[in-house]
Amino acid sequence: MTARHFPSLGPSLGPSLARLGLATAACALLLGLSPASAGTTIGPAIRVNAEVVTSYELDQRIRLMTVLNQPGDIPAQARQSLIDDRLRHAAAKSMGVSIPDAAVAQGMTDFAARGNLSLDQLLQLLAQNGVDGVALRDFVRAGLEWRGAVRARFAGKVAVNEAEIDRAISAGVAAGGELQVLLSEIFLPDATDHGDPALLAQRILDGSRTLNSFQIYAQKYSKAPTAAAGGQLDWQSLSALPPGVSGAIAALKVGEVTQPLPVEGGIALYYLRDESEGPGTGPLSYNIEYARLALPPGQEPALQALAGKATRCGDLYPAGRGLPEEALQIQTVAEASLPGDLAPLFAGMDPGEIRLRTTANAAELVMLCSRTPQTKVPPSRDAVKSQLLNRKLAILAEGWLEQMRSDAIITGN
C-alpha cells in the first residue's frame, strides 16, 4: 500500500471548495451504499449523548485513517474523531446547517485531489484495504458541517483590522506565522475574602474600562503571581493557551476584557493589551540577493568611498565598468545555499548595508541587496485577512468543541 498524506477535514477551516467535475463513483456513494464487509458487527460501540457510534463505523474509521497514513495511536484517534463528529453534527443541526449531497461529493473529489488522486482512484485504494466509500463520505460530510456551524455561530463576532494585516505581512504570515497575544490577568479563587467570586468578577468586568483600571483591580483582588505587576503577562502564543481561554481571547479586540472564565480553582479574567503575528513553528526560509565587488589589494580607500555613497546594489555597477566580469557579482540564492563565509555575515545585516573585507588576494565590498521570504506569490491583503480570520475562527471552534466534549455524556469503549 502506497502511503498518502491527506489533511484532516474534521476541524479544518481552510479554503472553500472550488473545483467542478464530480467522479461517477461519488454519485453512487451519495445514493447510499451497504457495508463492504458482510458479517461485521454493527452494534453500538460508543454512545455520545443520544447518538450511537457502531462497532462497524469504528472499524471503518480505523481502516480509513490507516490508509491515509495518519500518525499516532490510530484506534484512539479514530474513536475520538467519531465522538467529535457526532458533537459537530449536533452543533450544525442546532445552527440550522445542512450540507447538500452535491457539496459532499465535491468535497470528496477535492479531498482525493489533495493526495494527487482522482476520487475513483481513492475509492479503489480504500476498497483494496477494506474501507467502504461511505466511511469517506461521512468523514467529509462531518468536516463540512462543522465548518458551516462555526461560521454560522461566530459570523460577525471576529474581525481583522488593517494593522493586524500589516503586521502579519511584515512577519511573513504566508510562511506560517502564529498569533501572539499580550495579556493581563486576574485570578479569583473559589474561596475568597471578598464574597462571591462570580459577583466580584462581574464587578471587575464592569469597572475595567481601561488598562489602568484593570491593573488596579489585579493588584487589589488577583491571587495570581502577577498581581503585584498589575496582572501583566509576557507575549505568548494564542494557540498555547487552553481552548476555553484562547477562544475567548480570539474574540476580543485590543483593549477589551474577557467575560469571567471558569478555570481550575476559580475564575479568571483577561485584558488584551496587544496582539501580533509572531514566528511560526519553524524559521522562515529566505531568498538572499547580494553583491560582491572585489578589487586588487590596496584599493580599500576606493571601496570605502564607494560604501559611503551606495545605498542599493545598482549603485555598484558604475564601479564595475572596465573591471573583469568576475569582479562584480550580483546574484540571488536561497539562504541555505549561501557560501559559508557569507551566511553568518548576512545574518546580522539589513538590506542596503555594506561590509568591507580584506583577504590575501583582494579588497572586497559585500552588500546585502534584499532578503525576501520564499513564497511563490506574495500574499494579497485579502488573502492575509482571510488567513488571520480563519485562524481566529479555528481557535474559537476548538474552544466550542472542547466545551461540548466536557458537557457530553459519553459511554462505551
CA angle (242 as vertex; 238, 246 as ends), nearest 5: 40
pTM of the model: 0.50
Strands across the sheet with 410-412, in order?
Answer: 51-54, 44-48, 410-412
Identify the structural domains of the chain with CATH numbers, from first to last. Answer: 24-154 (1.10.4030.10), 162-281+379-412 (3.10.50.40), 286-373 (3.10.50)
Q: 3-state class of 363 per DSSP?
A: strand
Q: Answer positive or negative: Cα dihedral of 145, 148, 154, 159.
A: positive
| pLDDT per residue of the chain (413 residues) written in tens, 0 to 9 | 444 444 443 333 332 222 222 333 333 333 333 334 433 456 678 999 988 999 999 999 999 988 877 767 889 989 999 999 999 999 999 999 999 998 899 889 888 877 667 889 889 989 999 999 999 999 999 999 998 999 899 877 888 888 877 776 665 544 445 677 889 999 998 877 777 888 999 999 999 888 889 999 999 999 988 999 899 988 888 877 776 788 788 878 888 999 898 877 889 999 998 877 654 444 446 778 899 898 888 888 888 888 888 888 888 888 777 788 778 888 888 777 787 778 777 776 778 888 888 877 888 899 988 877 665 445 667 777 877 888 788 888 888 998 999 999 999 86
Q: Which residue's entry shows cell 479514530?
A: 78
Spell out where 106-205 has E strands. Answer: 178-189
